[in-house]
Chain A
């Protein structure tokens, strides 16, 4: 059982480039989340999804987009990368709305 997997592990982007961070879970969880973690800070919620086809904004959604076409996958899209998006991105999933969130290993993104 792989749990929550994320790709890539690390990426360097130039300002203005776009990329998609991949997140897949094999636990049949309905709820999925994207967080970002900045140095010395806790995680902040970017977007979340309560099931396939349903997404909603979190605390810091600007500059990001998401989609949820399947239960397993929840990709995060950066359209025009900015230095402020340099961060570590974590995907998480849970079986129920209030249940334990299981985190992936993270994607470290550097925007130069």
Chain B
């Protein structure tokens, strides 16, 4: 069964500093990988996704992530964090369901705090 580990529960960075959020996954086949962001009281918004091809994926809001098969990782990065980036970030791996569709298995999330 697939699983996702986000080892950092909380991260605090200063505005303007770079950011890297870690994500490790376990999945038998080539994974579909996602990063979602959740602001307080809101639903989840997709930042970026990896299905195949180029292992460096660009997303919205200046985020990028790199798929490293050898390390089973899909870390999220941003070169310069803005105060509005404070939110909870979820990494997820997608797996095909027997009846069709795609089950997302989420990590436990990383809460990002941005200091001004």
Contacts and interface: CB of A to CB of B under 8 A. Distances in A.
B41 to A, nearest CB: 8
Give the 8 A-B CB pairs with smallest separation, nearest first: A42-B106, A50-B100, A103-B43, A103-B44, A56-B99, A105-B43, A43-B106, A31-B101
Interface stretch (B11-19, B71-79, B88-96): B88-96
Q: Categorize the interface residue count of chain A.
A: 20 to 34
B108 A41 contact: yes
23 contacts: A4-B43, A31-B100, A31-B102, A33-B104, A40-B9, A41-B108, A42-B4, A42-B105, A45-B103, A45-B104, A49-B101, A50-B100, A56-B97, A56-B98, A97-B102, A98-B51, A98-B94, A98-B96, A100-B49, A103-B36, A103-B45, A104-B43, A106-B43
A8 B65 CA distance: 35
Contact of A42 (B46, B51, B103, B108): B108
A41 B92 CA distance: 12
A90 interface: yes
A85 interface: no
A58 B100 CA distance: 12
A80 interface: no
Interface residues of B, number: 30
Contacts of A33: 101, 104
Contacts of A31: 100-102
A58 to B, nearest CB: 7
Given A42-B4, A98-B51, A54 B99 contact: yes
B102 A94 contact: yes
Given A31-B101, A92-B44, 13 more contacts: A33-B101, A40-B109, A42-B90, A42-B108, A43-B90, A44-B106, A50-B99, A58-B103, A59-B103, A90-B43, A90-B44, A99-B102, A102-B46
